[in-house]
Amino acid sequence: MEKVLIICLGACMGALSRWGACLLALRWFSDQSLATFFVNTTGSFGIGLFLPLAAKATVEFRLFLMIGFLGAYTTMSSFAAEVVASIFERRYWQAAVHWSCGSLFPLLACICGVWLSSQMVTR
């Protein structure tokens, strides 16, 4: 039961952080899909940042951060729904750009997070 509560606490904080990040991103971009892109990219960076440290962290910390917080903060389901909506609305170019950038940039952000984390650990 303790593990469930740890995950729930992390998920609650992650969901609220996602909401806040979307509100912030919507100040910069007027398009919801760009806000989702921002959240997925920053969440992927966060996962990449903590992935190398996960083996040294406690089980509770991994449950809280990786599954709870970051699991609730990032979601690719919104991304997929937005790409599909663009396709159904016959905005194929927008769908292609959104899909390719929304796939590539979070991967690059994760790689940058892993690299930064490994630089911090080796010092």
**What pLDDT sits at residue 46?**
87
Q: What local confidence, expressed as pLDDT, does residue 32 receive? A: 85
- Report the pLDDT value the prediction gives residue 86, as an integer from 0 to 100: 92
Asked if residues 86 and 29 have their Cβ atoms less than 8 Å apart, the reply is no
Residue 59: enclosing H or E segment and its boundaries? helix 59-62
Residue 38: pLDDT over 70: yes
Q: Which residue has 């490994």 as its token pair?
A: 118
pLDDT digits (tens, 9 = 90+) for 62-105: 999 988 998 899 877 678 778 888 999 999 999 999 999 998 99
Contact between 6 and 68 (Cβ < 8 Å): yes
pLDDT tens across 103-120, in order? 899 999 999 999 999 888
Which of the four pLDDT bands, split at 50, 70 and 90, describes residue 3? very high
Per-residue pLDDT tens over the stretch 7-37? 999 999 999 999 999 999 999 988 888 888 8
Q: Number of structural domains, the chain? A: 1
**Mind listing the pLDDT tens digit for each residue in 51-74?**
888 888 999 999 999 889 988 998
Sign of CA dihedral 65, 66, 68, 74: positive
Domain ranges, residue 34 = 2-121
Which helix (DSSP H) or strand (DSSP E) does residue 122 occupy? none
| CB distance 10 to 45 below 8 Å | no
